[in-house]
């Protein structure tokens, strides 16, 4: 038998007498990630907006490309959610970006339950990951992570307040995904109205307990910029892929007769802030929050639903193995019971059928007997009749014979008399 | 409802301008630095081979207490007693919790049969601990990692070949943990002797089907294979350890002073300590952790989840199958 002493509680710090070289560790880690590539999945969602709110344009502007070039011409009217994956590359970083968009949602008359497909989609991705994690032979290392990392929630630029459907939807989503609220088509609201609108939205979110994504403040390098950004939420955005010449540059902008709204001008809209926050500063945090908070919550709920616990009723730790075994036994017993039931039912049915058939047979038999009897009776009857007829016939023929004989006798007697007379006449 | 998924490639040329995706590398760097790293290293070899000195030299600090110091309680252990000590070291903002697991008593008995058993048990226990944490419904945000990432196996500089105990140990543990064999106290070998010894060892390893780190079967792409091949051609590294500094040509160097000269530990012409350090720490540290987590731990997990008749309470009595399939209780 052997024993070992575990590590000391609270390891001591040690001073290094020289350069060891493990400061390259973050670089080693980053290099490995570069080889593997990154996954990022964004959901563009609008519950209360009509189509044409500018989601696709914003997508294109954010990632500085024309996603529509890659749009397939295949159109499915029944499909409400569409996920498209793009492999982007910038210098040596490969990003597998999946954009989940909704098709034709805003035009529906009845929007009550229309957030359900979105919630289901998010859950399906979690489920998919959970299934992989629970497999015996798994490859999480190479798994294509399809869980939604960020949800850009579009708010209609009404200028007044959040619609109640928006609040309900966001409340449903806030424990499942990082929500970043965005005011679309912000160039339709004036600056002062926009400011009031933003404050109203944020206060409504807070008072309704909707937990939108907060840019993290724990890292000093980004705390400052994140704090200021948190104050600009929700981001008022304008999207455009058209380029207009302003001064001596070509910039992305929307040209109106009364002026040019420049997408990347921070005075005109918050687009630059959105891109900063979403990609340049917090992409990794969004991924981490999705994994450590939203996914863990899903996993916990799912496992508890399935009956797994960490401690049994006596508060002793229960291993997943034991629970799994217990469930398996339960399942096998259930299967056996059902099998027995089925077998019994089958036997029962066979018996019934047999009885039925026996009855039918008996009935047939009795009918046969009956018919046979009838037939015999008839036959007897007929025999009787025949006999009578025969008797009749024989008595008739006897009488006829007797009559004939008499007749013959009388005739010969007469003839003899005649003859005698004749003969006597001659004498 | 079927999810429709379309895959497209948008290359660098298709991005009309800078997006800022590569900033994710810095984000990741910052997050990992903040979280800190854990690294667990095990040293195995009979006493007197300079294990503690080597660890101290590798990490340039007094991590392990040398058994040759006067205050060390010299007990002749009847069995191998594993002893894990953790320290937190920091370099340029990178914090690392280093745990060194020592195995005094290994190979010191007259009869060394089964002296690897406590080590096998320890390694499996760490895997088990991690597995149980991972299977919890309520999981920790960050599961503490006590799994052995690297096992440095010390070969005495006999100059001949692998001894039966070396073969047995590396055969059994090669599939459970990344073994890095080193030739200890290599200053007793000349360069030619060292070369021959290394070739013989590599032949012996091959002949016995022993896989040491970096394991060929885990190479993922041709670049990695090439790099690791070069390493595989030069292992085991012949090392010398020391914590003393001397003056050589006006520079302070780590070295061992002898009557016939100063053996500079970090001089690649003298010994291969620098190669070992570079491999273990500067280039392959993350890889050691990844191999442990993605491959060796997963293998353990598969084996464990397939054994449906062993529960945790039987851990003390259960028989761990060894790689060659024999039941330990029959050994």
A79-135 tens-digit pLDDT: 467 788 888 888 888 888 888 887 655 455 455 567 788 888 899 999 999 988 888
> Measured between CB atoms, which of B16, B84, B301 is closest to A64?
B16
B24 and A84 within 8 Å at the Cβ level: the answer is no
Tell me if chain B has a CB within 8 Å of the CB of A67.
Answer: yes
Cβ contacts of B282 on chain A, cutoff 8 Å: 21-22, 24
Report the pLDDT value the prediction gives residue A74, as an integer from 0 to 100.
41
Mean pLDDT of A239-266: 82
Report the pLDDT value the prediction gives residue A332, as an integer from 0 to 100.
85
Is 60 exceeded by the pLDDT of residue B292?
A: yes
Window from A33-42, B2-11, B168-177, B208-217 with minimum mean pLDDT: B2-11
pLDDT band at B316 (very low <50, low <70, confident <90, very high): very low
Is 60 exceeded by the pLDDT of residue A78?
A: no
Report the pLDDT value the prediction gives residue A416, as an integer from 0 to 100.
64
Rounded Cα distance between B174 and B103, Å, is 17
CA distance A22 to chain B (A): 6
Cβ contacts of B41 on chain A, cutoff 8 Å: none
113-132 in chain B: CB under 8 A from chain A = 117-118, 121-122, 132
Is 50 exceeded by the pLDDT of residue B39?
A: yes
pLDDT band at B68 (very low <50, low <70, confident <90, very high): low
Report the pLDDT value the prediction gives residue B60, as an integer from 0 to 100.
87
Is 50 exceeded by the pLDDT of residue B184?
A: yes
3-state secondary structure chain A: CCCEECCCCCCEEECCCCCCCHHHHHHHHHHHHHHHCEEEEEEEECCCCCCCCCHHHHHHHHCCCCHHHHCCCCCCCCCCEEEEEEEEEECCEEEEEEEEEECCCCCCCCCHHHHHHHHHHHHHHHHHHHHHHHCCCCCHHHCCCCCCCEEEEEECCCCCCCCHHHHHHHHHHCCCCCEEEEECCHHHCCHHHHHHHHHHHHHHHHHCCCCCCCCCCCCHHHHHHHHHHHCCCCEECCCCCCEEEECCEEEEEEEECCEEEECCCCCCCCHHHHHHHHHHHCHHHHHHHHHHHHHHHHHHHHHHHCCCCCECCCCCECCHHHHHHHHHHHHHHHHHHHHHHHHHHHHHHHHHHHHHHHHHHHHHHHHHHHHHHHHHHHHHHHHHHHHHHHHHHHHHHHHHHHHHHHHHHHHHHHHHHHHHHHHHHCC
Tell me if chain B has a CB within 8 Å of the CB of A62.
Answer: yes
Mean pLDDT of A240-246: 78
Is 50 exceeded by the pLDDT of residue A76?
A: no
Report the pLDDT value the prediction gives residue B311, as an integer from 0 to 100.
41
Q: What is the torsion angle, in degrees rounded to the nearest 10, for the CA atoms of residue A331, residue A336, residue A337 and residue A339?
A: 120
Give whole-number Cα distances, A221 to A215, A226, A288, B153, in Å. 13, 9, 18, 42
Is 90 exceeded by the pLDDT of residue A258?
A: no
Query: Tokens 């997408």, residue?
Result: A263
B286 and A322 within 8 Å at the Cβ level: the answer is no
ipTM of the complex: 0.81
Is 70 exceeded by the pLDDT of residue B59?
A: yes
Report the pLDDT value the prediction gives residue B319, as an integer from 0 to 100.
33
Window from A197-206, A282-291, B145-154, B219-228 with minimum mean pLDDT: B219-228
What is chain B's mean pLDDT, rounded?
Answer: 82
Tell me if chain B has a CB within 8 Å of the CB of A305.
Answer: no
CA distance A361 to chain B (A): 55
Rounded Cα distance between B178 and A23, Å, is 22
pLDDT band at A164 (very low <50, low <70, confident <90, very high): confident
Report the pLDDT value the prediction gives residue B151, as an integer from 0 to 100.
95
Tell me if chain A has a CB within 8 Å of the CB of B222.
Answer: no
Pairing of strands A259-262, A249-256: antiparallel
pLDDT band at A291 (very low <50, low <70, confident <90, very high): very high
pLDDT band at B176 (very low <50, low <70, confident <90, very high): very high
Report the pLDDT value the prediction gives residue A63, as an integer from 0 to 100.
81
- Percent of chain B exceeding pLDDT 70 equals 84
Report the pLDDT value the prediction gives residue B1, as an integer from 0 to 100.
39
pLDDT band at B14 (very low <50, low <70, confident <90, very high): low
Report the pLDDT value the prediction gives residue B330, as an integer from 0 to 100.
38
Rounded Cα distance between A260 and A7, Å, is 65
Report the pLDDT value the prediction gives residue A262, as an integer from 0 to 100.
84
Window from A55-64, A176-185, B74-83, B103-112 with minimum mean pLDDT: B74-83
CB B189 within 8 A of CB B197: yes
A20 and B59 within 8 Å at the Cβ level: the answer is yes
Report the pLDDT value the prediction gives residue A322, as an integer from 0 to 100.
66
B109-127 tens-digit pLDDT: 888 888 889 999 999 999 9
Tokens for A268?
Answer: 């005109």
Report the pLDDT value the prediction gives residue B10, as an integer from 0 to 100.
56
Query: Tokens 């013989």, residue?
Result: B200
- Best mutation target, A132, A149, A284, to test chain B (most B CBs within 10 A): A284
Mean pLDDT of A133-144: 86
Exposure string for A146-173, b = 16+ CB within 10 A, e = fewer = bbbbbbbbbbbbeeeebbeebbebbebb
- State the DSSP H helix or E strand holding residue B145, giving kind and residue range, or none if neither: none
pLDDT band at B313 (very low <50, low <70, confident <90, very high): very low
pLDDT band at B5 (very low <50, low <70, confident <90, very high): low
């Amino acid at each position: 038998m052997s024993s070992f002493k575990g590590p000391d509680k609270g390891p001591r710090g040690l001073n290094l007498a020289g350069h060891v070289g493990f400061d390259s560790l973050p670089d080693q880690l980053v290099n490995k990630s570069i080889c593997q590539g990154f996954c990022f999945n964004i959901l563009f969602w609008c519950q209360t907006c009509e189509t044409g709110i500018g989601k696709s344009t914003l997508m294109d502007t954010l990632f500085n490309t024309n996603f529509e070039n890659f749009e397939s011409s295949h159109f499915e009217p029944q499909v409400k959610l569409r996920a498209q994956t793009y492999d982007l590359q910038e210098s040596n970083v490969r990003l597998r970006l999946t954009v989940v968009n909704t098709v034709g949602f805003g035009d529906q008359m009845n929007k009550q339950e229309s957030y359900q497909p979105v919630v289901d989609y998010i859950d399906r991705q979690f489920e998919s990951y959970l299934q992989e994690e629970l497999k015996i032979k798994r490859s999480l290392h190479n798994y294509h992570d399809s869980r939604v990392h960020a949800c850009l929630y579009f708010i209609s630029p009404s200028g007044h307040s959040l619609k109640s459907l928006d609040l309900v939807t966001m409340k449903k989503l806030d424990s499942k995904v990082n929500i970043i609220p965005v005011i679309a088509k912000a160039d339709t609201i004036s600056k002062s109205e926009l400011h009031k609108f933003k404050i109203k939205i944020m206060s409504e979110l807070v008072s309704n307990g909707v937990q939108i994504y907060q840019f993290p403040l724990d890292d000093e390098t980004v705390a400052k910029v994140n704090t200021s950004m948190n104050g600009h939420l929700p981001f008022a955005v304008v999207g455009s892929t058209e380029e207009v010449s302003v001064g001596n540059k070509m910039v992305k902008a929307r040209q109106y007769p009364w002026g040019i709204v420049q997408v990347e001008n921070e005075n005109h809209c918050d687009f630059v802030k959105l891109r900063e926050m979403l990609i340049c500063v917090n992409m990794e945090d969004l991924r981490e929050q999705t994994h450590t908070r939203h996914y863990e919550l899903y996993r916990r709920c799912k496992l508890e639903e399935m009956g797994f616990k960490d401690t049994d009723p006596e508060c002793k730790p229960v291993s997943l193995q034991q629970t799994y075994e217990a469930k398996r036994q339960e399942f096998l017993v259930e299967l056996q019971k059902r099998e027995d039931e089925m077998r019994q039912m089958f036997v029962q049915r066979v018996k019934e059928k047999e009885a039925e058939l026996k009855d039918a047979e008996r009935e047939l038999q009795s009918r046969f007997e009956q018919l046979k009897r009838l037939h015999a009776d008839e036959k007897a009857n007929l025999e009787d009749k025949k006999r009578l007829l025969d008797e009749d016939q024989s008595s008739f023929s006897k009488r006829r014979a007797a009559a004939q004989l008499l007749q013959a006798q009388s005739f010969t007697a007469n003839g003899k008399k005649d003859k005698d007379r004749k003969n006597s006449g001659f004498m | 409802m079927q999810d429709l998924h379309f895959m497209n490639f948008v290359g660098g040329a298709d991005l009309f301008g800078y997006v800022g995706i590569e900033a994710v590398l810095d984000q990741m760097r910052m997050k990992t630095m903040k979280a800190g790293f854990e690294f667990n290293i095990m040293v195995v070899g009979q006493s007197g081979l300079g294990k503690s000195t080597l660890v101290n030299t590798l990490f340039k600090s007094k991590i392990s207490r040398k058994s040759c110091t006067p205050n060390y309680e010299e007990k002749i252990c009847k069995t191998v007693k594993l002893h894990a000590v953790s320290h937190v070291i920091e370099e340029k903002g990178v914090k690392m919790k280093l745990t060194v697991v020592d195995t005094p008593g290994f190979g010191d008995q007259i009869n060394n049969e089964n002296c690897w058993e406590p080590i096998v048990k320890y390694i499996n226990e760490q895997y088990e601990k991690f597995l149980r944490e991972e299977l919890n419904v309520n999981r920790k945000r960050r599961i503490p990692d006590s799994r052995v990432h690297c096992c440095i196996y010390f070969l005495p500089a006999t100059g001949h070949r692998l001894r039966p105990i070396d073969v047995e140990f590396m055969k059994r543990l090669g599939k459970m943990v990344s073994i890095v064999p080193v030739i200890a106290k290599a200053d007793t070998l000349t360069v030619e002797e060292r070369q021959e010894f290394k070739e013989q060892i590599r032949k012996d390893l091959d002949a016995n089907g022993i896989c040491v780190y970096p394991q060929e079967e885990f190479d993922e792409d041709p670049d990695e294979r090439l790099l690791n091949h070069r390493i595989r051609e030069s292992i085991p590294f012949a090392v010398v350890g020391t914590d003393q500094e001397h003056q050589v040509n006006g520079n302070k160097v780590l070295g061992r002073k002898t009557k016939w000269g100063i053996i500079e530990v970090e001089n690649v012409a003298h010994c291969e300590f620098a190669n070992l350090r570079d491999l273990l720490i500067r280039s392959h540290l993350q890889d050691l952790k990844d191999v442990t987590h993605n491959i060796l731990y997963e293998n353990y997990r598969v084996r464990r989840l397939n054994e449906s008749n062993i529960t945790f309470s039987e851990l003390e009595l259960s028989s761990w199958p060894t790689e060659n399939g024999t039941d330990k209780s029959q050994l």
